[in-house]
Structure 1
């Protein structure tokens, strides 16, 4: 009887040992399968990330190609326009008009000669370059503002303020004048209380050009008609093909009553 008891106990413990081994084997297999599943999932995620990165790189390449084509198209259009008008012929013609007009009106003569200077700058070879002198662009803006004031016999109000030395830097041509022209075309400023305000500042190699105008509810009241925003969209494309994104910004604040454009360039970042 004792033998049978000992035998039963032995069989019982053997069964327990086999059960433990079986459970251990089962859980080991489960753990191995889980590790395989995790590895497979990680590989699938990695493949998805690689595919996404390749897709983004392809899109970026396409966008770069489109930007290059847009820049080439813009340069071709400017070259075509320049070919249509001989700048020297136009400037000499305006000088001839000035000589005749000033005898009748000194003020009219001054307007003609100022316009001639502007057109000579706008059609000159340097204005077709990738970059031009910043001071020249600032002066061009001031001449444009002065002509506009004379056009309306100083019954409109445009405030221009500047701070800093602009003579040592270069910029994409016709950016500033496009911002100002957009404000004049689509704003209203026939009251000193709602003047079109323009500010150009260069402090610690950081250039800021701000133009803020009151929206004109009656576009034909003062300004010429035209497509709103076309010039600004052009600016965005030209800037993207010239400056790295981190070195410039063009912020548009389209409020209920006011429209503000803030253009910035960090010249320190351009030198890196």
Structure 2
């Protein structure tokens, strides 16, 4: 019994240490990124800006761990804007993507990483460097007050369309559970390598 108690106490101590490390690491990381930013900002402003944006993206991902079931859409829209800025810095004039969100749509609450998954799907699998075929991401309310999220982009030639479904399949399952089969996620890739996506969430889920 004495030995068993020692083992339990040891595991408890290890768990407490792991918890403390988990709490400290994000702060240490963000402080380090801030330090690097101020160290290089004069000599390399583009790289410094990339580091600051990366810090914002990681902070959001860290904060979302303690979020409620839903989060303000405007927060996810900010994340997408930061992500696009990162691509603009890297690709410069070769980054061709538009993102438009209506003020009414930004007031919505959605499940975490819904909009982010859509945006990352475009950035990962989409052709975002051709001005003839700009990637488009739009958020709006329809005439009935439902939330609509749509995207359109060319698919990279090297991408197998069947590989586009992994992240979206996870999102579709989460939407099915949370929105009780009342929301819809539809997407398709045609022979012209166009990828279209449409999400509709009923107005009853606005808050």
Specify the TM-score bucket, using the shorter chain as the normaliser: 0.7 to 0.9
Query: Which of 157, 162, 165 is 1:217 aligned to?
Result: 157
Task: Provide the aligned C-alpha RMSD in A.
Answer: 2.6
Paired residues in the alignment total 184
Q: Which moved more, 1:122-131 or 1:134-143?
A: 122-131
Whether the aligned pair in 2 keeps the contact of 1:165 and 1:202 (CA below 8 Å) is: yes
Counterpart pick for 1:238 among 162, 166, 174: 174
Alpha-carbon distance in structure 2 between the residues aligned to 1:177 and 1:154 = 23
Moved more, 114-123 or 158-167: 158-167
Cα gap change, 1:181 to 1:240, in 2 (>3 Å): same
TM normalised by structure 1 equals 0.61
Q: Which of the pair is proportionally richer in helix?
A: 1
Secondary structure in 2 matching 1:210: strand
- Give the 5 Å matches for 1:82-97: 83=22, 86-97=25-36
Q: 1:238 to 1:83 in 2, by over 3 A?
A: farther
Tell me the distance in 2 between the aligned counterparts of 1:260 and 1:193. Answer: 16
Whole-angstrom distance in 1 between the partners of 2:153 and 2:179: 27
CA contact (8 A) 2:41 2:47 kept: yes
On the 8 A contact 1:157/1:192 being kept in 2, the answer is: yes
**CA separation of 1:146 and 1:127: change in aligned 2, threshold 3 A:** farther
Which residue matches 2:77?
138
Q: Shift in Å at residue 242 of structure 1?
A: 0.8
Instruction: Indicate the residue corresponding to 1:113 in structure 2.
Output: 52
2:93 is paired with a residue whose SS is coil
Give the match's secondary structure for 2:42: helix
Q: Which residue of 2 aligns with 1:206?
A: 146
What is the distance in 1 between the residues matched to 2:120 and 2:137? 11
Structure 1 residues not aligned, in runs of 5+: 1-79, 220-226
Describe how 1:176-195 pairs up with structure 2 within 5 A: 176-195=115-134
How far does the alpha carbon of each residue in 1:146-181 deviate from its partner, in whole angstroms, 9 at most, with x for none? 111211123120111222334532110111111111
Contact 1:164–1:202 (CA under 8 A) maintained in structure 2: no
1:260 paired with 2:196, answer yes
Whether contact under 8 Å (1:121, 1:127) holds in the other structure is no
Higher relative contact order (CA 8 A, sep 6+): 2
Compute the displacement of 1:83 (Å). 4.5
